[in-house]
Homo-oligomer: A and B are copies of this chain.
C-alpha cells in the first residue's frame, strides 16, 4: 500500500455500547437467520425442529464500513442469541479466513460459550469462555462461536484484518471436529463431543 494523498483514509470515531454490543455510527448491521445456516446443524435436529422458524435470528452483526483492503482493520460486534436447534446450541456459521495467514481477536463483552477451532492439517482446539475473556485466534485456525447460555445473549467484539476474507464453504463441507451439545445432566449444561 503506498501513500496517496487523494485517497488517504481519514480517522473517525464511533460508539460501542459495552452492554449491548451495538455500534452506533459508520456501521452496517445485518442478521443471520436460521434459514441461512441449516446446513451446519445435524439433519435430524433440523427435521425435528418444530418450534423455531427459519426466520429466527440466530445472530446480529455490527460491522464498520471500511475498505476491505490490506492495512485496514475491521471492528465488529456480534450478538449471538440464546437458543437451540434440537440439542445443538445457536452458533455462528464459522469460517476460515480466505487469506489463511491472518489472525482475529475477540473480547467477550457479555455471556458465555465455547470457541471451536481447527486447522486444515487436522488440529483442533476448544476454549470455554465467559465475560471479560480475551480470545486469540491465530493465523490458520477456522473459528466458530457457540452460545451455551440458556437465557443470555453472547456479545463479543472482534477485530480482523480487512483483507482476511471469509471462507465459509470449507467449513460447510467439512464441519468442525467437535460439537457443543446441550446436556442438562452436566453442571455447565453442555458437553463437547
Contacts and interface: CB of A to CB of B under 8 A. Distances in A.
Interface of A: 1-3, 5, 8-18, 23, 64, 66, 70-73, 75, 100-105, 107, 109, 115, 117, 119-121, 123, 125, 127, 129, 132-141, 157, 159-161
A1 B23 CA distance: 33
Contacts of A16: 107, 132-134
Tally of this chain's copies: 2
Nearest to A69: B139
A11 B107 contact: no
A9 to B, nearest CB: 4
Given A3-B120, A13-B129, 14 more contacts: A1-B101, A3-B119, A3-B121, A3-B140, A9-B138, A9-B139, A11-B136, A12-B127, A15-B133, A64-B134, A64-B136, A70-B101, A73-B73, A75-B105
Given A9-B138, A133-B13, A138-B11, A157 B121 contact: no
Contacts of A14: 133-134, 136
Contacts of A2: 101
A72 to B, nearest CB: 5
A132 B8 contact: no
Nearest to A125: B11
Contact of A102 (B71, B104, B134): B71
A139 B11 contact: no
A127 B3 contact: no
A168 to B, nearest CB: 19
